[in-house]
């Protein structure tokens, strides 16, 4: 049996029914897999069963009959060859702890969630590892890259990265997800891929603020570039490979999230740049903008590691301490003048 045949015969569960979880679950189902899919909200689960559409998080997308929505977490994850986890970062620990009794010793776990836990400053792989009492490197991977859920669901060409410290595991997951419109590359740098997917959300809030303040394209380009520098600095301090940040999970996802109209984080920043308060913005949103919580994590993590991240720090102060975005721009632009490139 080759890798493609093996991928088609796997028992797969998906945990999470936000826009990204819905898009990925549907992608796997349209490949012919029978997918047990955990939907947290009982009313949403019933609605999906009746209409074959997630009208809350991904309206207008017809869902495959191979998707089997359930409110029972055990049904979704027990006796599976592969479980895809796509829940907001702030509930990752709670959900995976609930999964623990049902996860098989050979089950491959794939995280497609992006964020850093506030209290521990752990990436999602660290949270999952603690919650499940340890995971072998040969059965854990992360999936990330420039991929708006709606465009993936529409079948528009998309390229992502799947990272695992075990290349055999990465290649197996690669074949599970790959389609003619969803190209999957492999990578061994789990921490780099996770950091790229987390830091970019905070920088995207900053980019949105730039657009909301109507500060122009020069400013946004500079912000994205310097945001990449901050991402790379943190990655190097945490043992990531520098080349990862020039790839899909780094610059690819950063550019998309900082410039795309479908970016929730960019939307939060833009509305705040236009004068709305954070509480008002979030009250209008059903979906999670991960950068809001990750800004707090990045602030604590970078301070602990002694990593200079002025843009990320400015966003933290704006979101959580009331700094005016205009004042933040002035502070960033009038910092001490420096050489552009870091030593490493």
Q: What is the pLDDT of residues 143-189, one digit of tens each?
A: 999 999 999 999 999 999 999 999 999 999 999 999 999 999 999 99
Per-residue pLDDT tens digits for 197-253: 999 999 999 999 999 999 999 999 999 999 999 999 999 999 999 999 999 999 999
Give the span between the Cα atoms of 49 and 331, in whole angstroms: 52
pLDDT of residue 96: 98
Q: Are residues 182 and 207 in the same domain?
A: no
Count the domains in the chain: 2
Q: Are residues 163 and 214 in the same domain?
A: no
Q: Are residues 147 and 7 in the same domain?
A: yes
pLDDT of residue 284: 87
Joined tokens for residue 319: 């979101």
pTM for the model stands at 0.95
Q: Are residues 229 and 286 in the same domain?
A: yes
pLDDT of residue 285: 84
Q: Is residue 56 part of a domain?
A: yes
Instruction: Answer yes or no: 200 catalytic.
Output: yes
Q: Is residue 88 part of a domain?
A: yes
Q: Give the active site residue among 172, 200, 270, 293.
A: 200
Q: Place 131 in a pLDDT band, splitting at 50, 70 and 90.
A: very high
Q: Are residues 154 and 238 in the same domain?
A: no
The answer on pLDDT for 259 being more than 80 is yes
The answer on pLDDT for 263 being more than 60 is yes
The answer on pLDDT for 81 being more than 70 is yes
134-140 average pLDDT score: 93
Q: Which one of 155, 188, 221 terminates a domain?
A: 188
Q: Is residue 198 part of a domain?
A: yes
Q: Is residue 341 part of a domain?
A: no
The answer on pLDDT for 2 being more than 70 is no
Q: Is residue 134 part of a domain?
A: yes
Q: Are residues 49 and 155 in the same domain?
A: yes
Q: Are residues 220 and 271 in the same domain?
A: yes
Q: What is the CATH number of the domain that holds 180?
A: 3.40.50.720
Q: What is the CATH number of the domain that holds 286?
A: 1.10.1040.10
Q: Are residues 212 and 255 in the same domain?
A: yes
pLDDT of residue 289: 86
The answer on pLDDT for 1 being more than 60 is no
Structural contact between residues 212 and 271, judged by C-beta atoms closer than 8 angstroms: yes
Domain that holds residue 249: 191-333
Per-residue pLDDT tens digits for 279-307: 999 998 887 789 999 999 999 999 999 99
Q: Are residues 58 and 164 in the same domain?
A: yes
Q: Are residues 215 and 176 in the same domain?
A: no
Q: Are residues 139 and 221 in the same domain?
A: no
pLDDT of residue 106: 94
Q: Is residue 320 part of a domain?
A: yes
Q: Place 320 in a pLDDT band, splitting at 50, 70 and 90.
A: very high
Residues 307, 147, 102: CA angle, nearest 5 degrees: 85
Q: Place 3 in a pLDDT band, splitting at 50, 70 and 90.
A: low
Radius of gyration of the CA atoms of the chain, in A: 20
Q: Are residues 101 and 121 in the same domain?
A: yes
Which of 64-81 are b and which e, b meaning 16 or more Cβ less than 10 Å from the residue's Cβ? bebbbbeeebeebbbebb
Q: Is residue 152 part of a domain?
A: yes
Q: Which one of 140, 159, 188 terminates a domain?
A: 188
Higher local confidence (pLDDT), 272 or 284: 272
Q: Place 6 in a pLDDT band, splitting at 50, 70 and 90.
A: low
Q: Is residue 265 part of a domain?
A: yes
Q: Which one of 188, 222, 239 terminates a domain?
A: 188
């Amino acid at each position: 049996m080759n890798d493609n045949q093996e991928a088609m015969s796997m028992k797969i569960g998906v945990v999470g029914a936000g826009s990204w979880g819905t898009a990925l679950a549907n992608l796997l189902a349209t490949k012919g897999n029978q997918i047990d899919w955990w939907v947290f909200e009982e009313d949403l689960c019933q609605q999906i069963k009746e209409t074959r559409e997630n009208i809350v998080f991904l309206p207008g997308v017809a869902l495959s009959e191979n998707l089997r929505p359930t409110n029972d977490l055990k049904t979704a994850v027990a006796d599976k060859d592969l479980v895809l986890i796509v829940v907001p970062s702030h509930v990752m620990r709670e959900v995976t702890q609930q999964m623990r009794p049902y996860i098989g010793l050979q089950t491959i776990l794939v995280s497609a969630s992006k964020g850093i836990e506030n209290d521990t400053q752990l990436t999602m792989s660290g949270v999952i590892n603690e919650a499940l009492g340890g995971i072998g490197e040969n059965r854990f991977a992360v999936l990330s890259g420039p991929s708006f859920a709606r465009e993936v669901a529409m079948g528009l060409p998309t390229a992502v990265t799947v990272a695992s410290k075990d290349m055999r595991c990465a290649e197996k997951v690669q074949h599970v997800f790959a389609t003619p419109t969803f190209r999957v590359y492999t990578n061994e740098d789990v921490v780099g891929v996770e950091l790229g997917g987390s830091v970019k959300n905070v920088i995207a809030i900053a980019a949105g603020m730039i657009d909301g303040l109507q500060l122009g394209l020069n400013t946004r380009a500079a912000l994205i570039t310097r945001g990449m520098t901050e991402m790379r600095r943190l990655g190097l301090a945490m043992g990531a490979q520098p080349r990862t940040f020039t790839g899909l999970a780094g610059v690819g996802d950063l550019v998309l999230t900082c410039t795309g109209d479908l970016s929730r984080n960019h939307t939060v920043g833009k509305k705040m740049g236009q004068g709305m308060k954070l509480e008002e913005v979030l009250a209008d949103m059903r979906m999670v903008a991960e950068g809001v919580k990750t800004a707090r994590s990045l602030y604590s993590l970078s301070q602990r590691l002694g990593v200079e991240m002025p843009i990320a720090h400015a966003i933290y102060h704006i979101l959580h301490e009331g700094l005016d975005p205009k004042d933040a721009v002035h502070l960033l632009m009038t910092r001490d003048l420096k050489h552009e490139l870091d030593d490493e």
